[in-house]
Structures are given as C-alpha cells and as structure tokens.
C-alpha cells in the first residue's frame, strides 16, 4: 500500500473545504452553472471514462440510439453527476423536516412505509442512478436512518468530512472492508441495511442478466436477505426538475417468503432486483453513471466456472459487497 503523507492529505482537505465553502455561498442555480461548465471540461479531458460510457450504451441499447444520441447521453451523464455533487453541498441547508416537500415528491412509497413501521430486518438498495447519496440522508430525516456500507476514503481528513455529511440525519456508515460483523448485527437486531447493488463483482461474482448481457453481481445481498428473512426494497431518487427537484420512490419489494428454499433462490432474487434496477435506468439513461465498467468481467467458458454457493452454506463474504459513493 502506498504510504500516505499526512501534510499532503491535509492540504487536499483544506482545498476541498475551500471549494465547498465557495459553492455553498452560491445559489443552487448558480452552482448548477458552475457544474455545467466543469462537466463540459471533464467530458473533453476524461477520454477514458467517456469511451467506457459510450461502449456501455452500445452494449445496453444496441442500435436503439445513434452515435450522436449516445454522445448526448454521455454529456448528460457528466452534467447530471456534477449537478448532483453541487446538490450535496446544498442539501444540509435546503432539506429539513419542514422544507423537504418543496423539493421532494414521494411516489409509490406506501408499501415501504408499511414495512418500516412493521419493523424487522430490511434491506434497501439502489444503483448509481439519480441522487443516490440523497436517499440515505432523506430516510434519516424521515426518522428511519439506515445503516449503509461505504468504502473508507484513503484521505482520513476527507473521510471524516464526508462521513459527517452522511451521518448528519442519523444514517450510520459501515466500512466496506471489515464490516461483516456490524452488518450481521444490524440485521439480527431488525435494523435497516442499505447498499448500492450495481457494481461489478469480479470474475467469481454471480452472473445475472442486465440489459441483456451477463453482469457479475455480488451475491451477498441475496444471501443476507434469505438468511435473515429480510425483504429487499429497490428504490430510486430521480431528478424531475426544474432545478433541484426529485421524486423518491419504491420500484419493487421482494419478500424472501416468495422463494421455495431451492438452490436457485440466491440467483433468482439477485436477478429480480437487477431487473428492477434496469427498469429504473431505462426511464432516464442520462441519470445513470455509465462511466463505470459494469460488464468488466464475463463468465468463464463452461467447465471452468466455479459453482455458486447456496444460501446458508458457509460464511458470507460481506467485504466484497457493493458500497455507495466510490465503493
């Protein structure tokens, strides 16, 4: 591991804090203009991720879009992501228990509310779509703070700064590395766990269909749900505009009792929530982070692939699970 230089880390932290202070002094609309400028620059200089995004769109949609349309979508991805970053800086001042309705509309939320009020273990998940960071903040604001898995940032000063935002409304962050016992404790106590569920899980992940292509996916979420009888809620925070306005809703709730205890349950459950995530993305492709390599790994030829473990067999490799925001 590369040795950290505390002085450099602290200077980077100070620079970030200065930038945050400047952006927070702007109105949301002014910060959007800054975001759009930065997005245009980043689109030009970040060729590697731009090409990854264009290739991902070809894989996902085939000939549904022309090359020019794919290019416009990727430009929109950069713009959406930079605007999302600016929104995160304004959220502590704009979203309060008495003002959130000015910017957030809840849709299809009644089944989720019933589940939260009923109590018991619950798993909430989404993908790199819309404003995924805002979701954990909002549920804390609503009085149902989740426990979310996240990778610890290399810079300890920045890590504490980002964590302070995420935990402002009661959300509790659990480190992606070494957080297995904490995750199991949350579910054993009937708590709420939150994950991002659309990251490549490596060559030995579980392959399920995503936009018609095999996508390596972490099996841990399904195993945890089945072992703890925890419903899986697939949700979204989709930008609707104009400006800083979103709809937050529930796309699907998967009940563990729907499965029959067969060896295919883990894959069936994983496929169901992956299909739900695909539906969410299809509605607004510009709000999905196509810049990460979702199909980085593909199944090995038959005869070489390892058998997938069944729910309840051995320990659960929680450390390999997907994590929000940079995981």
**Both tokens assigned to 5:** 């230089």
Per-residue pLDDT, averaged over 82-88, amounts to 95
- Which of 44-48, 90-94, 227-231 comes out lowest in average pLDDT? 90-94
Residue 318: which pLDDT band, with cuts at 50, 70 and 90? low
Give backbone dihedrals phi and psi of 169, rounded to 5 degrees, phi first. -105, 20
**Both tokens assigned to 142:** 């609503």
Specify the pLDDT at position 1. Answer: 57
Q: pTM, whole model, 2 decimals? A: 0.89
> Which of 24, 294, 262 minimizes the C-alpha distance to 165?
24
**Both tokens assigned to 262:** 């067969």
Dihedral over Cα of 29, 30, 33, 39: its sign:
negative
Sheet holding 246-254, edge to edge: 104-107, 246-254, 232-239, 122-126, 192-196, 147-150, 172-175
Dump pLDDT digits (tens) for 205-230: 999 999 999 999 999 999 999 999 99
Dump pLDDT digits (tens) for 247-287: 999 999 999 999 988 899 999 999 999 999 999 999 999 99
Residue 313: which pLDDT band, with cuts at 50, 70 and 90? very low
Specify the pLDDT at position 326. Answer: 40
> Does residue 156 register a pLDDT over 90?
yes
* pLDDT, mean over the chain: 91
Dump pLDDT digits (tens) for 97-153: 999 999 999 999 999 999 999 999 999 999 999 999 998 899 999 999 999 998 899
Specify the pLDDT at position 5. Answer: 87
């Amino acid at each position: 591991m590369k040795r950290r230089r505390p002085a450099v880390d602290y200077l980077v932290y100070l620079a970030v804090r200065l930038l945050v202070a400047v952006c927070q002094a702007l109105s949301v609309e002014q910060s959007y203009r800054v975001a759009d400028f930065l997005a245009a620059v980043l689109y030009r200089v970040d060729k590697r991720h731009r090409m990854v995004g264009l290739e991902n769109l070809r894989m996902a949609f085939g000939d549904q879009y022309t090359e020019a349309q794919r290019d416009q979508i990727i430009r929109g991805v950069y713009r959406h992501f930079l605007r999302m970053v600016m929104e995160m800086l304004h959220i502590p001042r704009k979203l309060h228990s008495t003002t959130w309705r000015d910017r957030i509309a809840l849709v299809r939320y009644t089944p989720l509310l019933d589940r939260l009020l009923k109590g018991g273990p619950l798993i909430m998940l989404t993908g790199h779509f819309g404003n995924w960071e805002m979701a954990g903040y909002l549920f804390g604001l609503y009085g149902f703070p989740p426990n979310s898995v996240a990778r610890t940032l290399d810079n300890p000063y920045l890590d504490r700064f980002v964590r302070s935002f995420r935990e402002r409304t009661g959300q509790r962050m659990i480190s992606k590395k070494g957080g297995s016992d904490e995750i199991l404790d949350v579910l054993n106590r009937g708590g709420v766990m939150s994950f991002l569920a659309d990251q490549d899980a490596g060559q030995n992940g579980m392959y399920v269909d995503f936009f018609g292509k095999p996508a390596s996916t972490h099996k841990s979420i399904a195993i945890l749900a089945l072992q703890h009888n925890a419903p899986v809620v697939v949700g979204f925070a989709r930008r609707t505009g104009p400006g800083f306005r979103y709809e937050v809703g529930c796309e699907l709730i998967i009940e563990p009792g729907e499965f029959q205890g067969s060896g295919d349950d883990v894959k069936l459950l994983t496929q169901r929530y992956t299909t739900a995530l695909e539906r969410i993305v299809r509605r607004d492709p510009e709000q999905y982070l196509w810049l990460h390599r979702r199909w980085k790994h593909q199944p090995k030829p038959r005869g070489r692939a390892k058998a997938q473990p069944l729910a309840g067999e051995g320990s659960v490799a929680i450390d390999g699970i997907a994590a929000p925001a940079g995981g």
